[in-house]
Structure 1
Amino acid sequence: MDPAFAAVHEVVLDRVAEDSTLPEPAKELVLAALEGSEELDAWLSGTHAVSSRRDSQPRTGARGVFLRSISVTGFRGVSSRATLHVEPGPGLTLVAGRNGSGKSSFAEAAELALTGGNARWNDKPAVWQKGWRNLHHTGQSSVELELVAEGAKPTHITWSWADDNLSTGEWSQHAHGEKRRPHPAAQWQEELVAYRPFLPYSELGKLINGRPSDLYDSLHRLLGLDSVRDAIKRLSERERTHRDHAKDVRCEREQLRDDCLALNDERAQECAVLLGEPDPDLTAVANLVLGDDSAVAQLAALRRITGLKLPSTQQVANAVEKLTVAIDKHSALSTAQAEAARNLAVLIRHSITHHKTTGDGPCPVCGHGTLNATWRRQAEHAADEHERHAKQLHDAQQDVTNALAAARELIQPVPEELQVEVAGVPTAEALHAWREWHALRTLPSGELSARLIEHHRALSDHIGKAQHAAISTLEQRNEIWQPLARRLSTWHDRAARLREQATRREQLTTALKWLTKTNADLRRERWEPFAEESQRVWRSLRQQSNVDLGDIKLAGGTVQRRVDLDVSIDGTRSEALSVMSQGELHALGLALFLPRATVDRSPFRFIVIDDPVQAMDPAKVDGLAHVLAATARTRQVVVFTHDARLTEAVRRLQLPATVWEVCRRERSQVEIRKIDDPADRYLADARALSETKGMPSGLCSELVANFCRAALEATSEKVFRARRLGNGDEHSAVESLLANAVKTHHKLTLAVLDDPSKDGELYARLRLAGPRAVDTVRACKQGAHRGHHGDLRTLINDTERLVRWLEKR
């Protein structure tokens, strides 16, 4: 694999090993920063060794993978098991369906089964992941992906779960004829990061909303360099901490020098001379401050003891009072009825949603009650009450948790100052009392509230005695010199630590500069081919847009991050986000996604795109159809859409594609069927209805007439659109005329006469189609409202003849 597109960790390992100019400690710092914050801090403290060894096991990631089927059971909009079959291999598959039909459930299921997550819910609270189960399904839920890889048996990857929490599910896989086993997630991890083959609509939306850095982040993720950027941030934070420490020490030295000069004391004057040097003699400073080396530790311990801090009596009392009140409130509210309120509220809300979707009718659970407006008002009131009780209990529990955390926050670890003997200071008693105080942190809320005040009082007494003894000892020192000497001693300790850490600071700076440059190189290497291909895709998608896209650059670094888009309108440069419409931004998102998902190095030979058409004008829909068809020459492209314009464009442009329609029946039963021309589908449905036994004749005749009318309208739109677009008319003008043609008569007028103002001449022209053509139109229009009283088969056949005549216009 080309190093520019290999796993980023491997790339950095290679470049670290190859760079002979990078010192060994800086190399280890780079690798530790890539591993994580804890590993970096451990290395800096000398307790962690970084290894540059590589995994000797051969990689067994996916190679040449195509989709074969997506199966869904009890997930999202699908109740009983439903399977979408797709032909493994290059080609374009459109999965159409109205909003709420369940089509997107298959796209989300494929992403969940392969990646273990879903981009739509990644930034949502955990509670969102508990609503994935279909309301009409009981028992085991699952999503299953069947994959076909080069040189391997078809493989099924399944995510199944039994309760409402998807995160507790089981992730498994099995090949045909083999036992099911846990799915090795690591096997796919690097490929999915570098070449993620899924593009949900939510990812397109991120290009529209948010700050410039959000756009940068969404594009930067395409490069798989987030781990490098995180490592740079870790190194930068540590390097900045060292730099700030050095600055503080320098500023404090300058202030101490001025204070020494102002003090009429020989020791202070001599110390001022020492502090005037850029690199003072710290040993000489210590001798002046403490008199001799043996006194350093003793005086430092005395000063630290005097600086010990305990929470005030009022703070402790307030914490105990808040904790006690929270416990009492929670106990009063914590009943079985209150704990069940949330689940009841969720159940009622689902029932209300069902009523909104299906309208008035019998209860789908018991079959006896009636769901109507009265029930809905009562149900909404009940849901509000249950949610209020559930929130009260949750808030009370949170109050207990917060109060307990606040009380424990007052209890600090045993200070080192008490763990050494200091002459003349009773540290042993204070140490014992503080240990008992610190042990309170492990107590539950009730015990802690009962014992906190008593232990605080005892500890305060012992600390007070120790501090009084320490202060008395220190006061024996010269009263004029002592305050300044104390400050000098504190500064001396900080300056000494800073000097010890100078080498670390240099190593951090070297590692940070090297990794920042390496990241810029990798970013440029990985982005350039994507940017060039994105420009090519944009030129296909832009169609009649006057926006031209030039260079695309990722600029900035950890803090200031932005995307520089070279955009011009009619040859004049402009800021991209201020001039692009939502449709153009969606097109830009596709232009950025497709090159990354279809590079030759990607093992995935399929891409799944959900709802890419939203906000696109008709011209761009045509461009999208061409781009998808071109991509499908070498990739398996599966597109989910509720917008009929994409399927219409594919048919009108005569692009090779397989079209499936997803329909959602009662109780979330999903039906998937292959469709061709919409008019043929409507006529086929009409014939099927006319032959259905047991259906009331009035209802059957009305539905058949509706399907026949729909076939005439769909054909009229198709004929008019093809004629006008073929003559070079603008998409927007054609779609505007179709949008204004709200009735069947108006749509037929456009198809037959090509002029909406000639609707009065329609019937005269329709007589050219046959003696029953006008009667057929009237029968379709009237029957759609009052039912057809003639022979249904005759109506269907006459409609089909009229459809064929229209298609020749």
Structure 2
Amino acid sequence: MTVAGFRGVGPARILPIRPGPGLILVVGRNGSGKSSFAEVIELLLTGDSARWADRSSVWRTGWRNLHHPDPCGIEAELRVDGTTTPMRLRRSWTAGAGLADADVAGELSELRRPMELYRPFLTAAEVGRLVTGTPSALFDAIDAILGLDVLSTADQRLHAAIKPLEAAAKQHRADRTRLRDALAAIDDDRARRAAAALASADLAAILDEPLSGELIDRYRQWAILPLPDLGEVAALAEELRAMSAQAGGAVDTAVTVRLAELLRLALDHHDSARAGPCPVCQVGALDDDWRASAAATLEATRGTALSAQRATTRRAELVRRARAITANLSLSPAPDGLPVEPALAAASALRAALSAGEDLAVHLLTWYPQLVAAVDEVRAAAAEWLERRDTGWQQILPDLRRWADAAREVPQQASELADLKAARAWLKDAAIVLRNQRLAPFAAHAQQIWEELRQESNVQLGTMSLAGTATRRRIEFPISVDGADNGTALGVMSQGEMHALGLAMFLPRACASESLFRFVVIDDPVQSMDPSKVDGLARVLAAIATDRHVVVFTHDPRLSDAVRRLEIDAVTLQVVRAEQSVVSIRPTADPALRYLDDARALARSEEVDGDVRTPVVEELCRSALEYACQRVVWRVRTARGERHADIEDALQHAQKTTTLFALALFDDAERGGDVLGRLRNAYGGWAVNAYNLSRKAVHGGHPVADLPGFVSDTRRLAEALR
């Protein structure tokens, strides 16, 4: 991982992690910048960091380093199992860019779902949330990795099919109750028969009775007979009267128009012939006085003629509307008993008067009010008859028909509903069996981890199980305290025990065999743990590190002390932060060098008897060389794209030192006979001597004339193999 200008890291720094499984401890005091590296791989793979989740905005605004804000970028190089070329993920930010405005290279959208299932990152804040979060969230997180999504999907589909059938059956019963109550309130023989026959075959015959006949339809037509508003018709008549008066009659208007035209022609004649006798009567004189008088008369006549024309046009429109009132009036045949004669007589008189062309305004004001009054009387009589006739049967009949139609489907729906419920019950039982089968290895791993982490704890964790459904789903942790069953874990656990339980929940999930990620990144897991639990954590991490990368960031020296004390194979990198965010990373105690440092110290010790020193020194030197060879095998074969499982299998079969050297030198376990020649030709006799003495250590101590020299030669060979 490479970090520059990000969080606590100023100038660019690289955190090197060798290929192959193993435990890597990244140690440093608070504020040293080590957690910045922990956030890098998570941010590159997920686009976010759990450390910032659910925090205020200030946590997201302080991501750029204060002392060296530019250049700012993070990068990780990863090996994909089975491929030769490393994969590079990178995010970089220009000056002033926000966290979300990064230039992204190598984004892995296809890892989104695996990341949700087997999230390989764990921060100190997440440890507590793993066991104190909502029960359903923890249930879903574990249930998702069991590979039983198809069962959940099937259950959801069954539930979706059952729900409308149950709702329909419930609604059908409720409708029957409602209809019975409504029918009981209707004073009608048909309603009483329908109430008695509800939900029986006899109901169909009752419903088939005609809803209404021709007589009822006629009454309804008269009850809602539409007429133009009386006030609007009266206003039309008054306007028609006014327009008729203004127009002054069609004859007067024509005379006025002809007079205006005659005056205009006379004025044109005067303008062209000047003054002279009238060309028509030969008596009057068309002089200037006449012209002035004639022009004034023409102007007045034109205004009168225009007004008369407009009034005539409007009167014609009003006449058309008046005639349309009766033309659009449709009076259907009336049933016996309705007083329709006055209405028919008024309509006939109004229609005859209008078609005769008499004074339309007078006829409208005379006959239309009589028509409206007569029709209102008929409407009231028809409505009264319908009200007496309609006892509520017509209103409820459509509901009865719908209910009867639905009732025909009830038997089939009930059978289908019973089948679906039986299927869902069977699926539920089968899911419990399958879930327990799938959960068993996971629960066993969690219990195994807890047994290591619970050192000196009185809390005994039982077999974890998934319980409940829907909104009540949860994970149960049956425990006992000093042999007494408490029923639940969380109520009696200390903070350290809670963190241990959180790790026991996280690690089996992150290390599931189905996971695509062969690494685990844990930030500060030691907090709240007592020394005995730290020793247990070291053992757990060492066990997991046998087949994957385990990278642990911690400020607490107790974990690295426990690793050294328990002689756990691990690489420790120390992060030191100087002024201006200048971060340095120093490797400490390479396992091979650690073996050799111990061997050198023992070889020079005069306090230990030679018979004791020699075999121990030889064994330490052999362990150093074997570790160096394993490191070479991992480096070469991962670069070639081999699967981890194949590399581990090859190393497991290389039990002899000679075979292991053959793998390291030739990448061929069958070339053990060529090892001595290669060492002699490549390095010299000192390398052959170191190899032979370390190889013989497995068979017991052999006299070594110069133990310090042997250790020195072994160191040179181990460094050469790197």
TM-score scaled to structure 2, two decimals? 0.51
Uncovered stretches (5+) of structure 2, i.e. residues with no partner: 221-382, 591-722
Residue 638 of structure 1: how far off its partner (Å): 0.6
**Any conservation in 1 of the 2:44–2:91 contact (CA below 8 Å)?**
no
Residue equivalent to 1:582: 495
Residue equivalent to 1:649: 562
Residue 111 of structure 1: how far off its partner (Å): 1.9
User: Structure 1 pair 128/518, CA: closer, same or farther in 2 (3 Å)?
Assistant: farther
The 5 A counterparts of 1:193-204 are 193-204=116-127
Q: Distance in 1 between matches of 2:61 and 2:9?
A: 16
Q: Does 1:546 align with 2:458?
A: yes
Q: Does 1:88 align with 2:88?
A: no
Q: Distance in 2 between matches of 1:473 and 1:118?
A: 79
Q: Does 1:115 align with 2:46?
A: yes
Q: Distance in 2 between matches of 1:559 and 1:565?
A: 18
Which of 257, 265, 269 aligns to 2:188? It is 265
User: Structure 1 pair 496/478, CA: closer, same or farther in 2 (3 Å)?
Assistant: farther
Residue 544 of structure 1: how far off its partner (Å): 0.7
**Any conservation in 2 of the 1:132–1:164 contact (CA below 8 Å)?**
no
Residue equivalent to 1:246: 169
Residue equivalent to 1:624: 537
Q: Distance in 2 between matches of 1:656 and 1:216?
A: 35
Q: Distance in 2 between matches of 1:121 and 1:514?
A: 44
Name the SS for the 1:627 alignment partner: helix
**Any conservation in 1 of the 2:117–2:141 contact (CA below 8 Å)?**
no
Residue equivalent to 2:223: none
Q: Distance in 1 between matches of 2:188 and 2:16?
A: 92
Q: Distance in 2 between matches of 1:122 and 1:229?
A: 29
User: Structure 1 pair 527/287, CA: closer, same or farther in 2 (3 Å)?
Assistant: same
Name the SS for the 1:160 alignment partner: strand
Letter aligned with residue 185 of structure 1: S
Q: Does 1:256 align with 2:169?
A: no
**Any conservation in 2 of the 1:94–1:658 contact (CA below 8 Å)?**
yes
Residue equivalent to 2:36: 105
User: Structure 1 pair 497/632, CA: closer, same or farther in 2 (3 Å)?
Assistant: same
Residue 648 of structure 1: how far off its partner (Å): 2.0
Which of 481, 505, 526 aligns to 1:613? It is 526
Q: Distance in 2 between matches of 1:129 and 1:477?
A: 77
Which of 432, 435, 440 aligns to 1:528? It is 440
**Any conservation in 2 of the 1:530–1:592 contact (CA below 8 Å)?**
no
Residue equivalent to 1:478: 390
Residue equivalent to 1:567: 479
Q: Distance in 1 between matches of 2:463 and 2:422?
A: 32
User: Structure 1 pair 167/87, CA: closer, same or farther in 2 (3 Å)?
Assistant: same
User: Structure 1 pair 645/262, CA: closer, same or farther in 2 (3 Å)?
Assistant: same
Q: Distance in 1 between matches of 2:465 and 2:531?
A: 29
**Any conservation in 2 of the 1:207–1:215 contact (CA below 8 Å)?**
yes
Residue 84 of structure 1: how far off its partner (Å): 1.0
Letter aligned with residue 97 of structure 1: G
User: Structure 1 pair 472/509, CA: closer, same or farther in 2 (3 Å)?
Assistant: farther
**Any conservation in 2 of the 1:131–1:164 contact (CA below 8 Å)?**
no
Higher relative contact order (CA 8 A, sep 6+): 2
* Identity rate, percent: 46
Letter aligned with residue 509 of structure 2: R
Q: Distance in 2 between matches of 1:73 and 1:214?
A: 36
Q: Does 1:148 align with 2:79?
A: yes
**Any conservation in 1 of the 2:130–2:505 contact (CA below 8 Å)?**
no
Letter aligned with residue 186 of structure 2: L
**Any conservation in 1 of the 2:199–2:404 contact (CA below 8 Å)?**
no
Q: Distance in 2 between matches of 1:116 and 1:499?
A: 55
Moved more, 233-242 or 609-618: 233-242
CA displacement 1:283-309 (0-9 Å, x = unmatched):
6676469569xx9xxx9xxxxxxxxxx
Residue 247 of structure 1: how far off its partner (Å): 1.0
**Any conservation in 2 of the 1:92–1:628 contact (CA below 8 Å)?**
yes
Residue equivalent to 2:585: 672
Which of 468, 489, 493 aligns to 1:556? It is 468
Q: Distance in 2 between matches of 1:643 and 1:140?
A: 31
Name the SS for the 2:575 alignment partner: strand
The 5 A counterparts of 1:280-359 are 287=208, 290=211
Name the SS for the 1:207 alignment partner: helix
User: Structure 1 pair 130/485, CA: closer, same or farther in 2 (3 Å)?
Assistant: farther
Q: Distance in 1 between matches of 2:210 and 2:523?
A: 73
Name the SS for the 1:544 alignment partner: coil
CA displacement 1:560-583 (0-9 Å, x = unmatched):
112222211111111211111121
Name the SS for the 2:8 alignment partner: coil
Residue equivalent to 1:185: 109
C-alpha RMSD of the superposition? 4.1
User: Structure 1 pair 103/154, CA: closer, same or farther in 2 (3 Å)?
Assistant: farther
User: Structure 1 pair 505/572, CA: closer, same or farther in 2 (3 Å)?
Assistant: same
Q: Distance in 2 between matches of 1:483 and 1:520?
A: 53
Letter aligned with residue 569 of structure 1: V
User: Structure 1 pair 215/497, CA: closer, same or farther in 2 (3 Å)?
Assistant: same
Name the SS for the 2:569 alignment partner: coil
The 5 A counterparts of 1:600-749 are 600-675=513-588
Q: Distance in 2 between matches of 1:505 and 1:128?
A: 54
**Any conservation in 2 of the 1:129–1:165 contact (CA below 8 Å)?**
no
Residue 552 of structure 1: how far off its partner (Å): 0.8
Which of 146, 157, 161 aligns to 2:88? It is 157
Q: Does 1:172 align with 2:95?
A: no
Residue 598 of structure 1: how far off its partner (Å): 2.8
CA displacement 1:492-543 (0-9 Å, x = unmatched):
6877898997798678657755664564344323211011122112111111
Q: Distance in 2 between matches of 1:81 and 1:500?
A: 73
Q: Distance in 1 between matches of 2:388 and 2:63?
A: 73
User: Structure 1 pair 553/290, CA: closer, same or farther in 2 (3 Å)?
Assistant: farther
User: Structure 1 pair 473/520, CA: closer, same or farther in 2 (3 Å)?
Assistant: farther
Residue equivalent to 1:207: 130
Letter aligned with residue 537 of structure 1: I
**Any conservation in 2 of the 1:142–1:158 contact (CA below 8 Å)?**
no
Residue 599 of structure 1: how far off its partner (Å): 3.8
Q: Does 1:76 align with 2:7?
A: yes
Q: Who wins on radius of gyration, i.e. which is larger?
A: 2
Residue 546 of structure 1: how far off its partner (Å): 1.2
**Any conservation in 1 of the 2:131–2:501 contact (CA below 8 Å)?**
no
TM-score scaled to structure 1, two decimals? 0.46
CA displacement 1:618-655 (0-9 Å, x = unmatched):
21011111111222222221111122221222223332
User: Structure 1 pair 626/245, CA: closer, same or farther in 2 (3 Å)?
Assistant: same
Q: Distance in 2 between matches of 1:161 and 1:498?
A: 65
Letter aligned with residue 448 of structure 2: R
Residue 658 of structure 1: how far off its partner (Å): 1.4
Q: Distance in 2 between matches of 1:253 and 1:185?
A: 55
Uncovered stretches (5+) of structure 1, i.e. residues with no partner: 1-69, 174-182, 300-470, 678-809
User: Structure 1 pair 210/599, CA: closer, same or farther in 2 (3 Å)?
Assistant: closer
CA displacement 1:316-345 (0-9 Å, x = unmatched):
xxxxxxxxxxxxxxxxxxxxxxxxxxxxxx
CA displacement 1:438-487 (0-9 Å, x = unmatched):
xxxxxxxxxxxxxxxxxxxxxxxxxxxxxxxxx99997981433454465
Name the SS for the 1:273 alignment partner: helix
Letter aligned with residue 552 of structure 1: M
Q: Distance in 2 between matches of 1:614 and 1:474?
A: 87
